[in-house]
Structure 1
Amino acid sequence: MTTTTGAPAPVALPRPYLFWLAGVQAGLLGDAALYFALGWAASAHGGGAAGLVLTAITVPRTALVLLGGAVADRFGARRVMLVGDTVMLVATGALALVAADRGTPLWLLVAAAAVIGTVDAFHLPASGSMPRRLVPADRLPRALALRQAGGQSAVLLGAPLGGLLVAAGGLSGAALADAASFGVVLLVLLRVRPREEEGPSGPREGLLREAASGVRLALADPLLRAALLLTGAAAGALLPVVSLLGPLLARAHGWAAGTAGLVSAGQAAGVLAVAGLVVRRGGLPRAGVGAAAGLCAASAGTALLALAGEPAVAVAGSTVAGLGSGLFACHLGPLVLTGAPHSHLSRVQALLTLVQSLALVLANALLGLLADAAGATLPTLLCALATATAGLTALATPALRRA
């Protein structure tokens, strides 16, 4: 007779989820490459044009995302994703053809960006709800951690891949690669069917009313309300640190671009390390406490980054911030998905996306102005303070502390 010691091996994630996630990963990598190519092409028209292209993505995504969540809950997340991926397959194919024939005029870049932003508004809430539709609740932390790791990997690899594609075939080459990735996603979606594919039965209201009901539900539920507020605080205080303030700090110290890239890589490595650990071992028993602890750890890393006088210290600070960010994301995501009723899964995900987007846009603008007026160190320290305050507030919030 043999005996085993130690903790039992975690139960494997469902095959349909892993199959779906592989398709999602292909799509994310193609999207990241195309975003780089669009930004590169827009930069040839000047800074104002580059900002216009980014705005053309952000505005429809933000304006329509609540409606997109209501559509996914009514008609089914899988159906919405199938339609969205089909539209993007056609759009990226058309972009490749037009770019090959006419180059990269500004109107083409803005039109492509507007299509991307509009499709994202419907696709993101549907995609965000799929883990809950494919994975039992007890395995959600590991499932979402694996998705987090995949998304972070796509961000890291997307820009270099986009650079290679642009060098080889210009914007047309990157668009063709993204079209191929959407073809992969479509093939995967045709094979994967969630347990509850149809939208809810019963009397239906108008889509705008249904979108508003998702907001009311989230605001009335103590756990969802606290989680959304915490998400907004984290998006505003954490996300700008590496993307906006890190490069400004590097320039203030006279460091080279390669050093700034190492700071960004440290943050990504921290997120990936935590996501990998959660995939292997599972999340903490109290997810709310884990999310709060993640914010507190990220605060310490951000403060270290702000006060760093040497590149090695800055990289260490960004890595600690990444570890905290990963701990936060891997524990808050399952709370939101399991806290939302099945009838409102996509609408709650849409509200989560909206909160993150609005907080990030506002924070980037304010922190950028403050950095111009007082240097990058002060806004980075303020981000550390805001993150610590959010983490401590979460620990003091019963709905989160007991979750």
Structure 2
Amino acid sequence: MSTDMTGEKQVARNWFASAGARRYLAAFGLDQAADAMVYVLLAWVAVHGASALGAIWIVGAAAAAKLATLLLVGGALGDRFGAAPVVKSTLVIRSLLLVGLIAALAADVVLGIAVVAIAYGLVDGAHEPAMQALSTEVVPSDSGQKGIQGALDLVRRLGMLSAGPLVGAFIVWGSDEAAVALALVGLLAARLVVPAGTTRSRPAAERLLVLLSKLAADSREGWSVALRTKSVRSKLLIFVVANLALTPPIVLGVPLLAKAHHWSAAAFGLIDAGYAAGAIVGGIAVARWGDALSNAEEWAVGSLVPTAAAVAVLGWLDSWGLVCALAAVAGVSTGFGPSLLVGSLKESTPDHLQSRMQAARVAAIVAAGPAGIAVFGALISASSISAAITILAALLGLASILFLSGRAKELLLT
């Protein structure tokens, strides 16, 4: 028995030695960077083609389309056809949609831009769960997923950090050229995805209505399993609470503080970079040591306690340097905990449900963000920016401590 366990640990530690894993990691990084750049590009062309309100509507519609796909059939496609074929297909389709964006821009039709954005969101809702679940085809889920998940989150953050400067350079070059460049990045990512190691076969061609009916049934099964299974339900609850409480202070709270304290754009950029750098450190830690950790839920939730404390304090500080330091602390925790939790979710999920569980996770995150922003806005109206940040952070800290209490966990999740 000890020999088998040693072998399993060795496989978990050496996942990076696999050429398929390295190709997947590169494809994932390209995909995440391109995806972030696409939404920036959509907002840019919408603002210059319509108005600020039009930009909000178009990008919001794309996000809503993505959530709708996730809720309905997003993960079912990956589980029915295999993650690799779905990823390759959706990468190609998204590249073609970007070429369609060029046509819309040439016609200067805002409606055309909106249609492309919504279609992109729909495809993205099917793409993201499959792209996440593909790690279990590259590295078997029973060989440890926490390490590779840490690496995935690391390249995701690096890709998102590079997205702003790169898309800015592309836009200076020209909006059409930017769309072509992003389409080529998507095709390159598709080329890197190799379905080696997957044993799932594609079903025979089916009539569209029958296929849609089966996908709907698959999706219902996935959501039923997610909500019935205590370990999955608990992880989804953690994602919802964490994103509801953390998204508004980080995404909106820090910019509002910068405006209130008259911090320069450079100072604001350094705060954002501090948070990102901390998250990268957290991702590296999971990539290096994640597979050796047991009780992933407790480690993940425990890491939210220092995050909550750091965020609660930074709302009251006048010094952007101190805010940057606390943002870095929060970044380490948020880079560590979610990576660990996603890896654990993949390890505990049967292969035939991987994409659907990732769809449930992403849908929970996508839904929690706007809900948290609405609560944050109400708190600011009733108090102040600093108080609103502290209240949400305190709620996150309290929820984390309660979750770590075995008895409270049983009461909440049974």
Q: TM-score, normalised by structure 2?
A: 0.88
1: CA distance, partners of 2:219 / 2:98: 29
Helix, strand or coil: the match of 1:195?
coil
2: CA distance, partners of 1:236 / 1:213: 26
Corresponding residue number in structure 1 for 2:161: 156
The answer to whether the 8 Å contact 1:32/1:162 transfers is no
1:61 partnered with 2:63: no
2: CA distance, partners of 1:348 / 1:239: 22
2: CA distance, partners of 1:122 / 1:294: 30
2: CA distance, partners of 1:200 / 1:338: 26
- The change in CA–CA distance for 1:363 and 1:212 in structure 2 (over 3 A counts) is same
1: CA distance, partners of 2:197 / 2:356: 17
1: CA distance, partners of 2:183 / 2:408: 43
The answer to whether the 8 Å contact 1:95/1:112 transfers is yes
CA apart distance, 1:199? 6.5
Question: Aligned to 1:22, which of 23, 26, 36?
Answer: 26
2: CA distance, partners of 1:107 / 1:332: 40
- The change in CA–CA distance for 1:145 and 1:89 in structure 2 (over 3 A counts) is same
Corresponding residue number in structure 2 for 1:4: none
CA apart distance, 1:139? 3.5
The answer to whether the 8 Å contact 2:42/2:59 transfers is no
Cα RMSD, aligned residues only: 2.4
2: CA distance, partners of 1:181 / 1:162: 12
1:43 partnered with 2:47: yes
Question: Aligned to 1:212, which of 210, 220, 242?
Answer: 220
1: CA distance, partners of 2:268 / 2:117: 28
Q: Which moved more, 1:350-359 or 1:73-82?
A: 73-82
1:295-310 equivalences under 5 Å are: 295-310=304-319
1:11 partnered with 2:11: no
Corresponding residue number in structure 1 for 2:92: 86
Question: Aligned to 2:243, which of 230, 235, 240?
Answer: 235
Q: Which moved more, 1:107-116 or 1:152-161?
A: 107-116
The answer to whether the 8 Å contact 2:244/2:368 transfers is yes
CA apart distance, 1:200? 9.3
2: CA distance, partners of 1:292 / 1:32: 27
Q: Percent identity?
A: 25
1: CA distance, partners of 2:369 / 2:257: 19
The answer to whether the 8 Å contact 1:235/1:360 transfers is yes
1:165-184 equivalences under 5 Å are: 165-169=170-174, 171-184=175-188
2: CA distance, partners of 1:308 / 1:18: 42
Helix, strand or coil: the match of 2:14?
coil
Q: Give the paired residue count.
A: 389
- The change in CA–CA distance for 1:260 and 1:373 in structure 2 (over 3 A counts) is farther
1:281-300 equivalences under 5 Å are: 281-283=289-291, 284-300=293-309
Gaps of 5+ in 1: 1-6
CA apart distance, 1:86? 1.8
CA apart distance, 1:12? 4.0
1:3-402 equivalences under 5 Å are: 10-13=13-16, 14-44=18-48, 45-66=50-71, 67-99=73-105, 101-102=106-107, 104-136=108-140, 137-169=142-174, 171-189=175-193, 191-198=194-201, 206-283=214-291, 284-397=293-406
- The change in CA–CA distance for 1:43 and 1:304 in structure 2 (over 3 A counts) is same
1: CA distance, partners of 2:13 / 2:219: 37
Q: Which moved more, 1:147-156 or 1:257-266?
A: 257-266
Helix, strand or coil: the match of 1:309?
coil
2: CA distance, partners of 1:15 / 1:223: 32
CA apart distance, 1:98? 4.5
The answer to whether the 8 Å contact 1:243/1:264 transfers is no
1: CA distance, partners of 2:164 / 2:131: 23
Partner letter of residue 358 of structure 2? Q
2: CA distance, partners of 1:342 / 1:113: 32
Superposed CA deviations along residues 304-325 of structure 1, whole A, max 9, x for unmatched, are 2112121111111111111111
2: CA distance, partners of 1:364 / 1:195: 40
Q: Which moved more, 1:115-124 or 1:8-17?
A: 8-17
The answer to whether the 8 Å contact 1:42/1:109 transfers is yes
The answer to whether the 8 Å contact 1:10/1:282 transfers is no
Corresponding residue number in structure 1 for 2:5: none
The answer to whether the 8 Å contact 1:244/1:368 transfers is no
The answer to whether the 8 Å contact 1:20/1:192 transfers is no
Q: Which moved more, 1:135-144 or 1:211-220?
A: 135-144
CA apart distance, 1:177? 0.9
1: CA distance, partners of 2:173 / 2:185: 18
Partner letter of residue 96 of structure 1? I
Q: TM-score, normalised by structure 1?
A: 0.90
Partner letter of residue 115 of structure 1? A
Superposed CA deviations along residues 168-198 of structure 1, whole A, max 9, x for unmatched, are 12x2121111110111122122x33342333
